Structure 1
Amino acid sequence: MNLNEATTSNVAFMIEEIKSKLKMATAAAMQPSHFDLNRYEDIKDIYEVIASKPTFSISEVEALVSELGKLRNQ
């Protein structure tokens, strides 16, 4: 998958991977459609951080979820 292209399918892929990796309890509330392509690079940055680590502390998960929340459509 070429994540260098800002497409809705890439956003969907990254959001699903983020939810899976963080084992989010509120995963159903975090839908790819809640994110705008204008925030693609920010979403990709978070995805790359999450993809680079095998595990996360509770505070790291909270910080990452908080950042994702800021990127959601208002």
Structure 2
Amino acid sequence: MNLNEQTQQNVEFMIEAIKDRLKMATAAAMQASAFSVDQYEDIKDIYDVVMNKPAFSISEMEALVSELGKLRR
């Protein structure tokens, strides 16, 4: 999968990967289809942080989830 391509499929892939990596308790409320390609760069930035950091504090998780929430349509 080429995440440099700004497609809805890539957006949904990244959102699902973020939810899985953070083991989000509210994952069901965070539907990948609720995110638009228009926010691709922001979602990619969050994805890169989540995938490259080995562990997260509770406050870091809350901040990431909050940022994702702001990007939903």
Runs of 4 or more consecutive aligned structure 1 residues displaced over 4 Å after TM superposition: none
What does the per-residue CA deviation read over 1:23-49, in whole Å, with 9 as the maximum and x for residues that have no partner? Answer: 100000111111111000000000000
1:15 Cα deviation from its structure 2 partner: 0.4
Q: Which blocks of at least 5 consecutive residues in structure 1 are unaligned?
A: none
Q: Percent identical across equivalent pairs?
A: 73
> Superposition RMSD on alpha carbons, in Å?
0.6
Residue 23 of structure 1 aligns with which residue?
23
Q: Which residue of 2 aligns with 1:40?
A: 40
Residue in 2 that maps onto 1:14: 14
TM-score, normalization by structure 1 = 0.96
Unaligned runs of 5+ in 2: none
C-alpha separation in 2, matches of 1:40 and 1:27: 19
Structure 1 residues 9-33: Cα deviation after superposition (integer angstroms, max 9, x where no partner) = 1011100100001110000011111
Q: Which residue of 2 aligns with 1:59?
A: 59
